[in-house]
Copies of this chain bind each other. A is one copy, B any other.
Amino acid sequence: MQAPSRVLDNIISLVKAIPNYQQALGIGVGVPGPVDTVHGEMLMATNLPGFEHFPMTRTLEYALNIPCYLDNDANVAGLAEALVGAGKGKQVVYYITQSTGISGALVVNGKIVSGRHGHAGEIGNIVIDRNRQKYNHLNVGAVENEASGVAIGRYGRQFIGDSVKNAKDVFDLAHKGNMEALKIIDRMAYDFAMMCADIAHVCDPDIFIIGGGVTKAADLYFDKMQAYYRTLVHTGMRDMDFVLAELEEPGIIGAAMLPVSYGV
């Protein structure tokens, strides 16, 4: 059996195990990577072989006879934060995960804006400084290569030494006053702020909601990042709410809310 079929068979069995599952108005699915929301298919499935262009929502709808909606995991997390989390009641929400990578979601009036190719929110590829190193398929100076958890760990090894394993080690050293660690975090804060300023000039959100593992060290950079942000936007844009994500499992909650956001 094809891998996607096996995964979907498992999902179908789990749904059918829920008492009165037939009364559900809709099913929402969140997956990593860009999504074709119209056809309900993944466009890139790096960690889920066989799922690229597999008819995911149609398979589930056929088996369960319930309307099914698919979107990217950052997008559904952003939707949850916009509807019932830190962005509740706001019209334009920009949600950002700062984790191993950097990704985001634009939610306008309670609906995810996925965009033409399902790539809205692929902000990790925004160039914040074109005079940096080339690391991978992302742009030179892409913010994900400069301000993500992976990037912080890499700069830690580069500037502090091989004793540094990851971003957490850099944060621990910064808490102890290590100057190199503090410099790495300061640069990251500026680079992240520049990405936020780019986003703000494009869509001027009512709120930025930042989630992801890196924000566990928010005490080290969140205020500083906002101060840099204010130097990078028009005077009239300086008052801005930057808040940390509120929900424990925004991905699960947001996927469940997808049908509602489509008006089901």
Is there a chain B Cβ closer than 8 Å to A120's Cβ?
yes
Size bin of chain A's contact surface: 35 or more
Q: How far is the CB of A131 from chain B (nearest CB, A)?
A: 6
Is there a chain B Cβ closer than 8 Å to A12's Cβ?
no
Chain B residues, Cβ within 8 Å of A240: 116
Report copies per complex.
2
Of the candidate stretches A181-189, A199-207, A244-252, A254-262, the one touching chain B is: A199-207
Interface centre among A122, A194, A233 (most CB of B within 10 A): A122
Closest to A43 in B: B236
Of the candidate stretches A13-21, A106-114, A163-171, the one touching chain B is: A106-114
Leading 10 A-B pairs by shortest Cβ distance: A115-B204, A120-B204, A119-B204, A202-B202, A116-B206, A120-B203, A119-B237, A198-B198, A122-B201, A117-B237
Interface residues, chain A, with chain B CB atoms under 8 Å away: 34, 43-44, 92, 104, 106, 108, 113-131, 139, 194, 197-207, 232-234, 236-237, 239-240
